[in-house]
Structure 1
Amino acid sequence: MTNAAGRGDSRTLTSPFMPLSPRIDRFYTFSRTRADKSHVTPRPANLEDAFLGRYANRPLWERRARAMAFALEHEPVYLFPEEELVGILYQGASPPRGYTTAAEFAHFDAGQQARARIAQLDDTYGVSGGAPAHIGWRWDRVLRDGIDGIMADVRRRLAASRDVKAKRLYRGALVLWRAVLRWNARHVEALRTAAGKATGVEKERLKRLIAICARVPRLPARSFHEAVQSFHMQHLAVMFENPHGGNSPGRVDALLWPYLERDLADGFISRQAAKDLIDELFIRFEERLWKRDGWVEAIVPGGTNPDGSCAVNQLSHLMVHSIAALNQTHPVVYPRLSRQTPESFVDLCVNYLVHGQNRAQLYNDDVCIPAIVKAGTPMSDAADYMAGGCMEVSVQGKACDLNFARTHNVAKTLELVLNGGCDLRTGDRRTALRRTLADFPAFEEFYTAFEAQLDYEYRQMVRGIDIQSECFAKYRPTFLLSSLIDDCLDRGRDQQDAGARYHEYGFAPLGITAAADSLNALKRAVFDESFITAGDLLAALRADFEGCEALRLRLCGLPKYGVEDRHADAMCDRVMHSVCAIATRQTTRFSGQLKPMVFNFVWTPGASAVLGARADGSRAGDMIGHGMTPQRSAMVKGITAAMNSCATLDLSVVSGGATTMWDMDAEWITFERMKAVLTTFFAGGGMIFQGNTTSVAELEDALQRPQDYPHLIVRVGGYSARFTSLDSALQKEIVARHRHRAV
């Protein structure tokens, strides 16, 4: 990675990626200029005015539908020079100056309603709601049937139904889809007005766009250009209704490829023209989400078909080329690989890892798909998995939008069990546990207590998310989204009200490897080798090892997960299995699972800061590892040893995905070495691969002179961000990570 890529506004890299065309280079420049401006959206004011005023006398479901439709219809229409796609929303735009949310509007907020209900429970420990999003939907229906076709289907269902709830869903969907058509029609009108004033080449361009936008998304797409435009407008509309980070397009290459394949065969479009459309589409993602790096809308090219064949196509390649040549963080492009993936696509993805500005994240279908199937999903659905944002695995268009809802600090749970329910840092009682480590005569009895506490906390977690789901269904019906989620229309139910095929709640169990290393250490120190008593170990932990440095160093020297020690690796596998087994046996309100998704996102510093000293020799606040990556303190025998330890894990129990973070020494890593590392990792059963290749020296320079590095992108955890935009704790955590090189 050169300093130019970090400091300047370079869009292209001296690498094996297809360069941007002159038009796209200009469009990128103008887009960045537009994005830097302050944008105002009438959305909140229009929603509130329509909900509290214009439609205040309607039933709640209808108020929501009509208010959302009113707001969408009145969103601004933008036309840009040289564009070949039309339409944009500014997701991070501000409300009008002086606007404040009316107090009465809060009474209809699903989050506030859930919090009020939770507060009335007899036991609120570990109970909270959940954040929506992190799913994809069946937008291929818009391409195949057009909005007219979807509405015709909904009308037939409405006419045939006698179910009150179903009729509400169908009527709400019709209201919202009509609004999408009206908003699209305003774009066509603006294009016609502009065309009336244009001449020559510009007039021809506008006439071409008029023909496309007058047809799609209202009617089925016939060409690749129409398909991309139809996808783009429906994505804006569904995101307007569901403006939550992590909602993602998913398998864009698989769903758009039939249109491009036909156009290429007919000579209707060139490969370069197709890439230009993808480039422009991606630039529009970035403009819409500018400076919201953590929003994360994911595209997963490549992968496997339901029959087991390889799904990689030419569009898969173009999408990786496109994002790799653009200096931006949206959309995130996370390829899916398998044993059947063509070498050319593997090589492209390796170059993406090495030269892609720390934005690549790769999935191993040979591990991911069996894990999804093992959890009870048929292969026909499992092969259609996608990333909902950072890495959250779900089947596209079939999950409710609590697919990721919560985090859970596994290492903190262990701390509370070890210390009798009290916080090691403060001494405050956190939960009703009374026995400390000193009260357990055998390790297995202690481990059973740890599992029992996990079970209690996960039951409490589901209890809270169930309440959130009920409140979402009542106060936040999702008519557009539900009409594109299987099996909402068939069941006549919103995706949060038993409509979605998979009503699963995803959560991130943090600190699994930290808990495992601590358990392995205390097992050896207290129960196996007895070189310290449980009481003395507790005293040392409570003192954060003050006055106990010799003990701390001895604990630090015990084998950890990541050094190819069979006992340490087995303990990590055991803890992971306990977390996953206990979680997945919990049942959501519509018979789904609590689904573990092992990743860290931005939570590493925060989750670490609340921890006291640990039995593996870590002091209070020392950083936990990322996902299933060995902790930094265990990275002492090199990347081969660390990956061999990873290979001992049975990841078939992690249906929501398990990430690892592999930061490489910038001077050591090459294409050949990265390919060897990646293929070894996947061959050993690794699931998700990510990491940084930027030098520590460059990061440290950026800390000192941030003004010189506005476009330096780093891998945080499941997503990438501009380094200088991150808070200090995250910056320090990224700089301090272990960098792998030859040992």
Structure 2
Amino acid sequence: MFKTDLEKLHNALEFTRIYKENSGDINLREARCLDFQLEHILVPLDENDRIAGRYEHDFVGFSSQVGGYSALGAGYTYYFNDFEFTLAMRACNDRLTNDEKCALQSVEMFWREENTARKLDVAFANRYGHILPKGYQGPGAANCDCRVAGTNVDFEKLIQLGLDGLDREIGEMVAQNGASTFYDALKIWIESLRKACARYREQALALAEQAADAKAKQNFLDLADALEAIRHNPPKTFLEGVQLMWIYSVSSDLMNYGRMDDYLGQLYADDIDAGRITEEDAVEIVLGLYKHFKEINKIHDCRVIIGGVGRQHPEAADRLAIVIMEASRRFRETVPQLTLRYYSGMSDAVFQKAMEVNAEGTTFPIIYSDETNVPAVEKVYGVSREEAEQYVPFGCGEYVLVGRSVGTPNNGVNALKALEMTLHNGVDKYQNVRCGVETGALSTFDTFEKLYDAVLGQLKPFIEKLAVHKYLNYKVAGENAPYLHLSLLLDDCIARGKAVFEGGVRYLNASSEMFGIISCADSLTAIKKLVYDEKRFTLEELVHMLDCNFEGFEAERKLCLDAPKYGNDDDTADDIATRLFADLADLTTAAGKAAGLDHYNIVSVNNSMSAEWGNFCEASACGRRRGSAMANANGASIGADKSGITALLNSMSKFDNTKHVGVINNVRFTKELFTGSMDKVGAVLKAFYDNGGVQTNLCVIGRDDLENAMAHPENYQNLLVRIGGFSARFVTLNPVVQREIIERTTYGA
């Protein structure tokens, strides 16, 4: 901890005073609150820093998604961390005056009502009379949260213009559109960033004086010079560029860092070509940035993108991409989520480096196919090819357009739970709670199509409510704050003179995370084959078996397990999987339009909820037992892909990619196969990317290593695994998640 509880309590008093005094104008209120906040959440440099910028949030503050996780909700706009605030009040009781105690009690009462997450709950409850569950343990087929996540701002613009250039752009728009407190607030925000640079510059100079060796002294002097330069001017060196990007990000709670090889590549190439730095110097600078990523440790975000079409500086960017991958190879951590965008004709050296780094078990870079995704994004978002080329995945794999759109996920839909509820006429059987629509008794499903339609009917109300919640998430945020850090670097906020959620951003998009699609589809395939086509047993008999968790019905369970499964290039199973996927996508898109969003699309990703939410689902007709993990994202059901890697990839490539904005495909190889046949593996992957494959998460590790790590965690502290949309140290995971990972298929020689 960098600050004492007493300091944080005093900061809460002052932040609240500033908030109240400026309540008449949300633009100036945010600017002045942020100016105070930035002075107090940015903590000092330490002797190991190469880049300036570390934070520790207070109990009250402003944040897109991070600062305020608590019983009252996520860090969302103006947050209040009630739990930590209460603990601090108790711990500091003897050091607070009576007046301070009274004032802090007033702060607590004020923020319990005023925090923005509560306002969102109130807005939703006013429409529906209730709020939605906020965790996977709640009953029903959906959950939600509140935040503004994943936005990728225009760092290229920041690097090209610098802070003074952004100031001038605002001045030009004032001349064109007229003065406004929105423009005034943006200028205050820029000045707050300048002051942060100045504070860190003084700290760097002080540390240079204290440095134990010449290299450390020079590093801090260089850092001080960079911080002084970027207070006003566009960066002219690689160090200055990294520092400007990071001071903006850490000051803004940004968790995704866009196409880093592109917006920093030319600065790197110029430094190398002029002899100002070596490649090793650049790796050390990147590792200095990675150090801060790890301190924040936002494993579900922290995306760094390299490669891909549509870069402004492709040759320089490729040179930097090699450096960034080398830094990840050495760092060997769960962050950043390094992501390579593949395209036909890309640099062989870049792709080869990506394979080599993955071969060492880093789980990075994740590889996305521009051959598939650019034309798909162009169609799904209805944008130009040029704009589609600026798609980037963030978080667990959702897409946004750099500098042009927002697209926070914030909710989950469980397709397998919807099937369970359909088979019990709207009752969540595991929780024994009626929370869905009454889709009818089992006897009414005399055809497969009626059952299938009932599953969609079970999901439709959840999907529609989540779309409204998503719209209200933006609406309430916009009513309370202009989100200056986003508005400054998102088109077309400055040009329109409007904040991001008040009509400023070009595309108001959102996404909905889908779980259990494959498990649901495999279950429907089994039901169609065994109940409707072959009439091995009735639907009533099957549901009884499921309610008994297949106990006493092992032969029938084997029939379910032996039914066709997605992941084997079997059209019988794959057709139902792709049909269900497309129908859920269409329901979601329609719900988003009705709610007022520009685009609202599904993603099939995994943030460990495939295992965790599966823990609260009854047995299913795919042969899965009660509480077992669901299939991970667009991967096969556990152990169901039995026909080889090519068959799995063929199944994964059959989905309509204009129906989604992100899917996750996990593929695990033994180290022996991956390293011994790297060229062949690379050729298979390239064929997948060129023929409809969206992406791959590559995990190079054997099942035996995972089993040993579960039994002897002390010997495997550095073992990294890919969960789905993020990576983790295996030994830190919930045993339920560990077992799900172990049971996935490993492809070997």
Question: What TM-score results when the alignment is normalised by the length of structure 1?
Answer: 0.86
What is the alpha-carbon distance in structure 2 between the residues aligned to residue 215 and residue 494 of structure 1?
29
The one of 603, 610, 613 equivalent to 1:607 is: 613
Alpha-carbon offset, residue 726 of structure 1:
2.0
Shift of 1:707: 3.3
For residue 80 of structure 1, report the CA deviation from its aligned partner. Answer: 4.0
Alignment counterpart, residue 390 of structure 1, candidates 393, 396, 414: 396
Contact in 1 for aligned 2:343/2:369 (Cα 8 Å): yes
Contact in 1 for aligned 2:18/2:32 (Cα 8 Å):
no
- Contact conserved, 1:310 with 1:340, CA < 8 A, in 2? no
Give the alignment of 1:108-507 within 5 angstroms.
Answer: 108-122=114-128, 124=130, 128-158=144-174, 160-161=176-177, 167-194=180-207, 205-239=219-253, 247-286=255-294, 288-289=295-296, 292=297, 294-305=299-310, 313-375=318-380, 376-400=382-406, 402-507=407-512
Aligned to 1:49: 13
SS in structure 2 opposite 1:729?
A: helix
User: 2 CA distance for matches of 1:65 and 1:461?
Assistant: 31
From 650, 657, 666, give the equivalent of 2:662. Answer: 657
Alpha-carbon deviation of 1:701? 3.0
Separation in 2 of the partners of 1:206 and 1:621? 54
Please give the alpha-carbon distance, in whole angstroms, between the structure 2 residues aligned to 1:534 and 1:511: 21
User: Where do 5+ consecutive residues of structure 1 fail to align?
Assistant: 1-36
Picking from 22, 29, 54, the partner of 1:88 is 54
1:663 alignment partner, SS class: strand
Q: Counterpart amino acid of 2:737?
A: L
Report what 2:31 is aligned to: 65
Q: Kindly provide the amino acid, as one letter, of the partner of residue 294 in structure 1.
A: I
The question of whether the paired residues in 2 share the 8 Å contact of 1:521 and 1:558 is answered with yes
Bigger share in strand: 2
Query: Which of 709, 719, 740 is the matching residue for 1:712?
Result: 719
2:590 to 580, 585, 592: 585
Report the more deviating stretch, 266-275 or 297-306: 266-275
Displacement of 1:311 in angstroms is 8.8
Tell me, what secondary structure is at the counterpart of 1:597? strand
Letter of the 2:414 counterpart: N
Residue pair 1:302, 1:311 contacting (<8 A) in 2 also: no
Cα gap change, 1:349/1:206 in structure 2, threshold over 3 Å: closer, same or farther? closer
CA offsets per residue over residues 382-404 of structure 1, 9 Å max, x none?
1111122222211112222x522
- How far the C-alpha of 1:276 sits from its partner, in A, is 2.6
Question: How has the CA–CA distance of structure 1 residues 644 and 89 changed in structure 2, closer, same or farther, with 3 Å as cutoff?
Answer: same
Write the distance in 2 (CA, Å) between the matches of 1:416 and 1:276.
54
1:570-608 deviation line (CA, Å, top 9, x unaligned): 111111111112212233555412121111112122221
Amino acid at match of 2:198: A
Could you give the per-residue CA deviations for residues 265-318 of structure 1, whole angstroms, max 9, x where no partner exists? 3344333322332222222322x32xx353431001001117998996101111
Provide the C-alpha distance between the structure 1 equivalents of 2:435 and 2:221, rounded to a whole number of angstroms.
Answer: 66
Q: What's the offset of the Cα at 1:534?
A: 2.2
Matched residue type, 1:178: E
Would the aligned equivalents of 1:337 and 1:362 in 2 still touch at CA under 8 Å?
A: yes
The equivalent of 1:23 in structure 2 is none
Q: 1:57 and 1:616 mapped to 2: Cα distance?
A: 60
SS of corresponding position for 1:585: helix
1:689 is the counterpart of 2:702? no
Once residues 306 and 437 of structure 1 are traced to their aligned partners in structure 2, the CA distance between those partners, rounded to angstroms, is 55
| Corresponding letter in the other structure for 2:729 | R
Q: Compared with structure 1, are the counterparts of its residues 194 and 359 closer, same or farther at alpha carbon in structure 2 (3 Å cutoff)?
A: closer
Partner AA of 1:712 in structure 2: L
Give secondary structure in 2 for the equivalent of 1:345.
helix
What is the SS of the residue equivalent to 1:346?
helix
SS in 2 for 1:313: helix
Partner of 1:9: none
Contact 2:2–2:56, Cα closer than 8 Å, also in 1: no
Q: 1:562 to 1:191 in 2, by over 3 A?
A: closer
1:629 aligned residue: 635
Shift of 1:249: 0.5
How many angstroms does 1:503 deviate by? 0.9
Mapped partners of 2:689, 2:652: distance in 1: 10
Please list the CA deviations of residues 47-93 of structure 1 after superposition, one character each: whole Å capped at 9, or x if unmatched.
53233224522226233331221121234553444754333335799
Contact persistence 1:129–1:465 (CA under 8 A): no
Q: Residues 320, 205 of structure 1: CA spacing in aligned structure 2 closer, same or farther, 3 A cutoff?
A: closer
- Offset of residue 194 of structure 1: 4.9
Shift of residue 481, structure 1, vs aligned partner: 1.8
User: Residue deviations 1:402-461, cap 9 Å, x none?
Assistant: 522211101112222233112233543221224134302322233233333333322111
CA deviation after TM superposition for structure 1 residue 737, in Å: 2.1
Identity across the alignment (%): 23
Identify the structure with bigger relative contact order (alpha carbons < 8 Å, sequence gap 6+): 1
1:323 to partner: Cα distance:
0.6
Q: Partner letter of residue 152 of structure 2?
A: G
Distance 1:123 1:414 in 2: 25
- In structure 1, give the amino acid aligned to 2:37: A
8 Å CA contact retained: 1:43, 1:71: no
| 2-structure distance, mates of 1:44, 1:638 | 56
In structure 2, how many angstroms separate the alpha carbons of the residues matched to 1:570 and 1:275?
47
Q: Which runs of 5+ in 2 are unaligned?
A: 58-65, 68-83, 93-103, 133-141
Quickly say closer, same or farther: Cα 1:465–1:77, change in 2 above 3 A: closer
Tell me what 2:540 maps to. Answer: 535
Q: Give 3-state SS (helix, strand or coil) of 2:662's partner.
A: coil
Say if 1:381 and 1:149 are closer, same or farther in 2 by CA, change over 3 A. Answer: same
C-alpha displacement at 1:508, in angstroms?
1.0
Structure 1 Cα separation of the partners of residues 246 and 313 of structure 2: 29
Q: Which residue of 2 aligns with 1:33?
A: none
Distance, in Å, in 2 between the alignment partners of 1:490 and 1:535 is: 62
Looking at structure 1, the residues matched to 306 and 738 of structure 2 have their Cα atoms a distance apart, in angstroms, of 30
- What root-mean-square deviation, in Å, do the aligned CA atoms of Structure 1 and Structure 2 show? 2.9
**Per-residue deviation, residues 248-268 of structure 1 (Å, max 9, x unmatched):** 001000111122233333344
8 Å Cα contact 2:43-2:56 kept in structure 1: no
CA distance in 2, matches of 1:419, 1:540: 13
Find the aligned partners of 1:608 and 1:205 in 2 and give their Cα distance: 50
- Once residues 741 and 554 of structure 1 are traced to their aligned partners in structure 2, the CA distance between those partners, rounded to angstroms, is 28
Instruction: Give SS of 1:581's match.
Output: helix
Q: Secondary structure at the match of 2:367?
A: strand
What amino acid maps onto 2:709 in structure 1? A
Report Cα offsets for 1:132-152 as digits up to 9, x if no partner: 211211122222122122123
Partner SS for 1:153: helix
What residue is the counterpart of 1:674 in the other structure?
Answer: 681
Q: How much has 1:229 moved relative to structure 2? A: 1.9
Structure-2 residue corresponding to 1:701: 708
